[in-house]
Structure 1
Amino acid sequence: MTAPSALPFFVYGTLRPGAYNHDRLLLGRTIAEEEARLPGALLHDGPGYPYAVPGEGTVTGTLVTAAPEAYGELLGALDRMEGDAGYERTAVETVRLRDGETVRAWTYVASPETELGPLIPTGDWFRRPVPDGPRTP
């Protein structure tokens, strides 16, 4: 079993490839990035980024494996950024990869006091309905 401190990260918002925090924080610090899903979670819109919470749904995202030499620095940077935005880091047991494999990973979920926006029924922040026209991650 992987030591908790070396878990990969399940990301579902601005840290996904193509979104604005990916290149700023993850580019050059990862060794693998794979499409993945997190069952048992719901996704809510937020102020420019989404929030996952436990629930009867599935969230779409990316499983990111940090380069070993960058892990500690990356974990600290993500904890600071996500903590400032109202998230808590938690270990999840059921991140599913495309081939059906289940992986244990860190993810950031909304802290209990975080005010959530509307539910994103697709579970995918990149494919959410937008009432005022298109917007990009």
Structure 2
Amino acid sequence: MTERLPFFVYGTLRPGEHNHDLFLAGRTSAEEPATLPGALLYDGPGYPYLVEDVREGGAVAGACVTPAYGEYARLLRTLDQLEDFVAPGHPRNMYERVAREVILADGTATRAWVYVAADGLARDLAARGRRIAGGDWCGRAGAAGV
């Protein structure tokens, strides 16, 4: 069985973004600001891609979202489908779901599920992608309300 971890969301699933309202609103028990160190964020077609890269020393801003009681299995299935995650290492994955340590606003570290760009996509982004400076999807140039 899959480990029951909160989810680190960094793009359209963050509080205030459109997919949060569609998929998470009313289905969580906690939503806390958090950061994922050792990662970079790239602009995509209406959503971001997260690429792990400890060499660059970057960090990605987001939220650590804990599903409400009784919602975990449904949210896991829904988010896997939304993020085009079939199974670990599957060739059709757009994202891989991996467990990583994120840092909450109070400095506490906690493990969470993170959807990261699958290997082939990550290589393409590193070579030709447009990085989001500062690693904050909500704070990017041209973001709604920014």
TM-score (ref. length: structure 2): 0.83
Q: CA deviation at 1:16?
A: 0.1
Confirm whether residue 123 of structure 1 aligns to residue 135 of structure 2: yes
Give the equivalent residue in structure 2 for 1:90: 98
Give the equivalent residue in structure 2 for 1:49: 47
Give the equivalent residue in structure 2 for 1:101: 108
CA distances 1:101-132 after superposition (whole Å, capped 9, x unpaired) = 00000010001122433011210011113xxx
Give the equivalent residue in structure 2 for 1:113: 120
TM-score (ref. length: structure 1): 0.88
Aligned-partner Cα distance in 1 for 2:75–2:3:
12
Confirm whether residue 79 of structure 1 aligns to residue 80 of structure 2: yes
Could you list the runs of 5+ residues in structure 1 that have no partner in the other structure?
Answer: none
How many pairs are equivalent? Answer: 130
Q: CA deviation at 1:48?
A: 0.7
Could you list the runs of 5+ residues in structure 2 that have no partner in the other structure?
Answer: 86-92
Structure 1 stretches (4+) deviating beyond 4 angstroms?
none
Give the equivalent residue in structure 2 for 1:136: 144
Give the equivalent residue in structure 2 for 1:32: 30
